[in-house]
Amino acid sequence: MNKKETMYTIGLDYGSDSVRSLIVNVETGEEVAGAVFEYPRWKKGMYCDANKNQFRQHPKDYLEGLELAITEALKQVSAEVANQVVGISVDTTGSTPVAVDEKGVPLALTHGFEDNPNAMFILWKDHTALQEANEINELARKWEVDFTRYEGGIYSPEWFWAKLLHVLREDPAVFRAANSWVEHCDWIPGLLTGRTRPRQLKRSRCAAGHKAMWHEAFNGLPSEEFLMALDPMLGGWRERLYSETYSSDVAVGKLSDEWAEKLGLSTDVLVGVGAFDAHIGAVGGEVAPYRLSKVMGTSTCDMLVVPMEEAGEKVVEGICGQVDGSIIPGMLGLEAGQAAFGDIYAWFKRLLMWPAERILAKTNIVNEEQRELLIQEMADQLMKELAEEADKIGIEESGVLALDWMNGRRTPDANPTVKGAMAGLSLGTDAPRIFRAFVEATAFGSKAIMNRFLEAEMRIDEVVALGGVAKKSPLVMQIVCDVLNRPIKVARSEQTCALGAAMMAAVVAGEYSSVAEAQEKMGSGFEHTYHPIPEHVEKYERIYKSYQTFGQLVESGLSN
């Protein structure tokens, strides 16, 4: 009897800065190869303006990454492994939509729009659509049906309809040329299968439900009457988008001849419906009912799944939505998160590095090579030194209090207009004390999210952390653990999003009958568990109350 051939799947994870590929053994979950491609145009800051909160990404970055990330990973394995790849699934940031023509080609890839930021993908953290989001919220509260009900009750400028309307208003040329709009997580699977025409695309339930106000109770997207009342220029757009959506265990189709040749794979490879990175990352981190999965990176996403029959009619206000099948088919997927987490630490690092980079660039004391080495060493060592010194500072010792709203507040209760703030500064306040205050603030933001789930009677039995911060910063993880007063497991895999995509691809390819079965066979488990320190928990309870009061003062002051 012949031994069954070992099969492999590829998970493709499009993050904010790069795309990662991962080739995974379907039987054992072994991560046999992978590659990372950094977006070259994004890295140069092209098409972005942080002062305007404009963050756009050129589709060429995604296309180049798609090909190179996969082919570079395949170079690391044998031809036999490549021949036994049976599925590819994709996750991306979101909401990251783009205007497309009738063939589903992003306008930035067409003549006349090559350098137009409005014709490019609008990255999730782009906040240029603040006015449009406010208008959606005002209208939704007056409308007979609240189309924001299953999206936490507050629509965000980070989401699909606000971005679409903002660009259509701002750019008449895009308005005239656009045939439809497509999420990044829908475009890549369509591209791989040669089915990019807007009507051919299988649209992600995850993207549509959490960001575009799609719900079965509404017969799909918001009604034509609602959209026309919002702005007459939205007339007809509902019909140019979609009515059906699909969970990520469904196949879009097989790899096209063109992409099979480019990648060196078979045309029998099945491609799954895409989804957002945090939702697929939760799958890779072995999310299960009532297990809160915290994807901790530049921002955070806090994911929870609940069996539909147990969720009942519960609605959690102030989060990023609750959608049937957005994470695991057949379960209610709930999403919350912080608009900035690791981004706050990165901002503080840039702040501290500014004088060194500025002054060293002009000095004649050292030569150019030495300058570069000095700057690099400082950049490499800075966060390590800050963390070591911050860890020596006792809780409540410095009296410095911070708010984690440097990029607005995502949840609970979205408000992109609020800003970060600090209190309790003195002439004795130094960089490690400020850094610790920021770490504590991000932990308090996490606690506010967990409390909102609990207040809505959504049970949390376990907390799992995944992502770069979870893997790299014991200081941050212990403080979050103490503030939440919950043990936190850290997922072993370095690439839980890509691993989750590979798991989904295995289900799509028929290697497993369910996501749970794929997780059991392909999961990498957990490498460490943080436990709360009782004396720290008590102190942080007191500081958290101060954090809440401080936040209320800052927010009310900004609104006056």
| Domain 342-492+527-559: CATH superfamily, name plus number | ATPase, nucleotide binding domain (3.30.420.40)
Vertex 247: Cα angle to 328 and 305 (nearest 5)? 20
Chain position carrying tokens 């339930």:
205
CA distance 543 to 537: 10
Provide the 10 A C-beta neighbour count for residue 39.
Answer: 21
Q: Which amino acid is at 119?
A: A
Report the share of the chain in percent with pLDDT over 70.
99
Better-predicted residue by pLDDT, 362 or 528: 528
The span from the CA of 270 to the CA of 259, in Å, is: 12
pLDDT band at 202 (very low <50, low <70, confident <90, very high): very high
Q: Using CA atoms, how far apart are residues 451 and 267, in angstroms rounded to an integer?
A: 48
pLDDT at 546: 97
Give pLDDT tens digits for 217-263: 999 999 999 999 999 999 999 999 999 999 999 999 999 999 999 99
pLDDT-based confidence at 1, cuts 50/70/90? Answer: very low
Q: What is the spatial distance between Cα 55 and Cα 61, in angstroms, rounded to a whole number?
A: 14
The pLDDT value recorded for residue 168 is 97
> Which part of the chain has CATH 3.30.420.40?
8-285+494-524, 342-492+527-559
- Residues 253-277 as b/e (b if ≥16 CB within 10 A, e otherwise) read bbbbeebbeebebeeebbbbbbbbb
What's the average model confidence in pLDDT over 400-427? Answer: 94
Taking alpha carbons only, the member of 282, 261, 212, 297 closest to residue 464 is 282
Domain 8-285+494-524 belongs to what architecture?
2-Layer Sandwich (3.30)
Q: Residue 13: pLDDT above 90?
A: yes
The rounded distance, in Å, linking the Cα atoms of 487 and 492 is 16
pTM for this entry: 0.92
Cβ-based neighbours of 354, under 8 Å, separated by 6 or more: none
Give whole-number Cα distances, 307 to 67, 335, 453, in Å. 38, 15, 15
532 with 395: CB under 8 angstroms? no
One-character DSSP codes across 445-459: HHHHHHHHHHHTT--
CA 165-171-177 angle, to 5 degrees, is: 90
Q: In percent, how much of the chain has pLDDT > 90?
A: 93
**Mean of pLDDT values over 260-268:** 98
pLDDT of 558 higher than 70? no
Kind and range of the H or E element at 183?
Answer: strand 180-183
For 452-466, what is each residue's pLDDT tens digit? 999 999 999 999 999
Mean pLDDT of the chain: 96
